[in-house]
């Protein structure tokens, strides 16, 4: 049997490990940012729209960071996509450098958060800057999830995954299209579980360790980059 080449698809176990790790990372960072930065979503960035509406109805601190999160997110996604095209034009696999870019911004998020701690003013420039570093890191993962890892379930927003999981579970119970439904369940359930575990760990991690807890998703992102290099 010949060795797996770069053009070959990765083993199923590798796909599963990457899906779970990326989803866990997103859940962890999103919850950590929400707890640490006065309700700022870093991964599920459109959730900030709901918080903006709630703040306009009943004023509360932190609205500026939420307003800036969306354009920051858009610019980071655009920059990531341009980088993906650049690597593809030169015949290079963009997965590893994009993941290393995400890891770099996670490291900046961690370092800036530790430096700014304790974070007590939601509208301070330093607080906003810390939050936007987290937004950039997760924007990179959002873009990678839609492009480089498009064969995987989405890793940053679980609503679609949960919806499809429930639909497929009903199909399996009814016996209709059970084969494809079971295959999708095997693909969708692990990232949903990973995101849930990451969200719980991110909340408890920040309470116990502060911004130092971001070492966990940073190492997880480096692990995925390493898996991609091996592939």
pLDDT of residue 148: 93
Q: What region does 41 belong to: left with phi over 0, alpha with psi -120 to 50, or beta?
A: beta
Q: How many domains is the chain built from?
A: 1
Q: What is the pLDDT of residues 68-125, one digit of tens each?
A: 999 999 999 999 999 999 999 999 999 999 999 999 999 999 999 999 999 999 999 9
pLDDT of residue 108: 98
Q: Is residue 29 part of a domain?
A: yes
Q: Is residue 55 part of a domain?
A: yes
User: Which residue shows structure tokens 């609205």?
Assistant: 63
On the question of pLDDT at 8 being above 70, the answer is: no
Q: pLDDT higher for 82 or 1? A: 82
Q: What percent of the chain has pLDDT over 90?
A: 68
Q: What is the pLDDT of residues 206-223, one digit of tens each?
A: 999 999 999 999 999 999
Q: Is residue 143 part of a domain?
A: yes
What range does the domain containing 27 cover?
12-230
Six-digit token pair at 206? Answer: 């920040």
pLDDT of residue 231: 57
CATH of the domain at 149: 1.20.1250
Average pLDDT over residues 132-152: 95
User: Which residue shows structure tokens 């969200």?
Assistant: 199
Q: What is the pLDDT of residues 174-197, one digit of tens each?
A: 886 678 888 888 889 999 999 999
Average pLDDT over residues 152-170: 89
On the question of pLDDT at 156 being above 70, the answer is: yes
The mean predicted confidence, pLDDT, of the chain is 89
How many Å apart are CA 86 and CA 84, to the nearest integer?
5
pTM: 0.89
Say if residue 81 is exposed, middle or buried (CB neighbours under 10 Å; 0-12, 13-18, 19+).
Answer: middle
Q: What is the pLDDT of residues 60-77, one digit of tens each?
A: 788 899 999 999 999 999
pLDDT of residue 180: 85
Q: Is residue 3 part of a domain?
A: no
On the question of pLDDT at 47 being above 50, the answer is: yes
27-37: b or e for each residue (b if 16 or more CB lie within 10 Å)?
bbbbbbbbbbb
Q: Is residue 4 part of a domain?
A: no
Q: Is the dihedral of CA 110, 112, 118, 123 positive or negative?
A: negative
Q: Is residue 1 part of a domain?
A: no
């Amino acid at each position: 049997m010949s060795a797996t080449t770069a053009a070959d698809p990765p083993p199923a176990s590798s796909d599963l490990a990457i899906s779970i790790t990326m989803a866990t990372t997103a859940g962890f960072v999103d919850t950590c940012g929400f707890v640490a930065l006065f309700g700022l979503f870093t991964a599920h960035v459109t959730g900030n729209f709901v918080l903006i509406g709630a703040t306009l109805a009943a004023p509360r601190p932190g609205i500026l960071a939420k307003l800036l999160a969306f354009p920051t997110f858009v610019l980071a996604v655009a920059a990531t996509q341009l980088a993906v095209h650049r690597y593809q034009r030169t015949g290079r696999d963009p997965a590893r450098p994009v993941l290393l870019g995400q890891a770099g911004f996670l490291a900046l998020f961690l370092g800036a958060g530790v430096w700014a701690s304790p974070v007590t003013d939601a509208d301070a420039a330093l607080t906003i800057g810390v939050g936007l570093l987290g937004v950039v890191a997760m924007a990179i993962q959002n873009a990678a999830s839609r492009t480089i890892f498009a064969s995987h379930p989405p890793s940053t927003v679980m609503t679609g995954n949960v919806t499809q999981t429930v639909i497929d579970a009903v199909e399996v119970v009814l016996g209709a299209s059970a084969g494809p439904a079971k295959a999708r369940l095997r693909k969708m359930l692990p990232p949903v579980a990973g995101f849930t575990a990451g969200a719980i760990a991110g909340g408890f991690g920040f309470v116990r360790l502060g911004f130092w807890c971001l070492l966990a998703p940073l190492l997880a992102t480096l692990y995925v980059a390493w898996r991609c290099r091996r592939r």
